[in-house]
Structure 1
């Protein structure tokens, strides 16, 4: 079957994984987006135009992560991929712990899904399975695909997720630095095992986090405590560690966003975000970029272009 001439518009949100205690499990979709137009061609080649974040830096051929993810998705459902022209307008920062690679993977999958409309049926489990295989873990790709707060886990049948709706009082604030940190580097700093007491501590906090995010935002400060990963990675991002300490000393539920070095603050109301932003601006020398973001509840969207 020829897909040449089909065009789709794709929009994928940024994500913040872990949320403190929910290491490799919890993820939150945020209203900051990469937007793409993907056209199937009969030229059997891939071209990519990138505008915004990554322009002049990322690959613009079939090795581009969006393109390779789209091609892998065609292969996963037994279809031959057409040529592709991708126009990307990116806003999600790269290497900052806001799910840019997961968003690129999901964008490619969503593009393939849209181009294959009418030929292949994609279930949520199939989408998450492809995305997790390409990304390596489901905690970022689950909220990017489905929106909201997601709990991701792996079963004998493959990766699974549960999407939850966040309490309207939860107001995310993200601090984005100029520096970057690779997820691979951050994971290298993790120990192979942790003390039993620390594991129990995080089980309690991650359970509390679900309650805080869904119905009790006033519990977010305690719910964002963690002993599994942030302290081990602290030396690799001293400015992040110092700023989180400042925020938490003033009662703000601040955590490392994903692998870092960005910071996520889960404020209990919009007014708290303004106060937290002022505190960081006056209390640190690091030039943080503060972004007051909504929770994205839709996840990735794909729309055909006639």
Structure 2
């Protein structure tokens, strides 16, 4: 039987992200080569079926409250289209609650799935995608690199969020250290003061500008460029071992920062040997177990392609 136009399946791939990168609070973000993959299928019926394997299996909702489904629904609503029945099969690799953009990845996955399912009916601009994602996430620093890849600078204007994507120098070698413990982004943000000294703000402005130059042109400047006075010290009490390891790594000359809201930590090596050195130090001095992820910078961001439709009984074909 010929499938009607309402039945479509897409494969979505979304990278992990690390935001802030030290001084670039709520502004800078980096896409990393660790991915959630999802197959999303529209159906002729109503309702939602969610299947999750990997990270979050047995923990995240499997109904229409699932964040990917909510993002799909928001995207359909933004263009005045009625949400079809959905089947979502997710294979998750991005750790949850550890500062690697898992919520941003889920939001972007839903938006890209909706984009793919609506292809031929609705065309989305990059600005529209970023606006929907930012509205759902609350800030653009993680969703921008998840959408577009590479290093992104994100900011907000009176007409909505905006971004600039930059290519990272090929010598930059990221390694992320992921602990077993988690940390709520809401809690991390609550530890920051409402205002900071003028000299600290000036310090971070200079380091943020230097960090962009270091990442795209001069990796040898990464250690100096990743100094921060705006957020990491205030959040240290919520992740004491992260703070201890960052101090240790920085004292050894490595560009170590909190990844996003933490508690994972990111080291931006200026060559592959630096991240191996970082792994040795963490293994030697870490009190608990830390999973070292030797990653590359993702250059593509989120992708969506057509996928063969399966399980016709469920689809009502």
Structure 2 counterpart SS, 1:60:
coil
Q: Choose which of 133, 136, 146 in structure 2 pairs with 1:134.
A: 136
Residue matched to 2:252: 250
Q: Could you tell me how far apart the structure 1 residues matched to 2:264 and 2:79 are?
A: 36
Give the C-alpha shift of residue 104 in structure 1. 0.1
Which residues of 2 match residues 71-82 of structure 1 at below 5 A?
71-82=73-84
Q: Are 1:281 and 2:265 counterparts? A: no
Give the C-alpha shift of residue 272 in structure 1. 1.1
Q: Are 1:187 and 2:186 counterparts? A: no
Give the C-alpha shift of residue 3 in structure 1. 5.2
Q: Could you tell me how far apart the structure 1 residues matched to 2:110 and 2:176 are?
A: 26
Residue matched to 1:160: 162
1:140-181 Cα distance to aligned partner (Å, 9 max, x none): 000000000000000111000000000000000000000000
Q: Could you tell me how far apart the structure 2 residues matched to 1:203 and 1:150 are?
A: 16
Give the C-alpha shift of residue 4 in structure 1. 3.1
Residue matched to 2:241: 239
Structure 1 counterpart SS, 2:51:
strand
Residue matched to 2:14: 12
Residue matched to 2:124: 122
1:64-116 Cα distance to aligned partner (Å, 9 max, x none): 00011001100011111101100000000000000000000000000000000
Which residues of 2 match residues 265-304 of structure 1 at below 5 A?
265-304=267-306
The 4+ residue runs of structure 1 with deviation greater than 2 A are none
1:27-76 Cα distance to aligned partner (Å, 9 max, x none): 00000000000000122101100000000000001000001100110001
Instruction: Answer yes or no: is the 8 Å Cα contact 1:3–1:115 preserved in 2.
Output: no
What is the RMSD of the two structures over their aligned residues, measured on CA atoms? 0.8
Q: Choose which of 202, 206, 209 in structure 1 pairs with 2:208.
A: 206
Which residues of 2 match residues 14-53 of structure 1 at below 5 A?
14-53=16-55
Which residues of 2 match residues 211-222 of structure 1 at below 5 A?
211-222=213-224
Residue matched to 1:89: 91
**Structure 1 spans left out of the alignment, 5+ residues:** none
Residue matched to 1:111: 113
Q: Choose which of 57, 60, 80 in structure 2 pairs with 1:58.
A: 60
Give the C-alpha shift of residue 284 in structure 1. 2.0
Structure 1 counterpart SS, 2:180:
coil
Structure 2 counterpart SS, 1:139:
coil
Instruction: Answer yes or no: is the 8 Å Cα contact 1:7–1:39 preserved in 2.
Output: yes
Instruction: Answer yes or no: is the 8 Å Cα contact 1:3–1:40 preserved in 2.
Output: no
Give the alignment's TM-score, normalised by structure 2. Answer: 0.95
Residue matched to 2:173: 171
Q: Could you tell me how far apart the structure 2 residues matched to 1:162 and 1:3 are?
A: 36
Give the alignment's TM-score, normalised by structure 1. Answer: 0.99
Q: Could you tell me how far apart the structure 2 residues matched to 1:6 and 1:148 are?
A: 30
1:233-258 Cα distance to aligned partner (Å, 9 max, x none): 00000010011011011111000000
Residue matched to 2:151: 149
Structure 2 counterpart SS, 1:239:
helix
Q: Could you tell me how far apart the structure 2 residues matched to 1:50 and 1:158 are?
A: 33
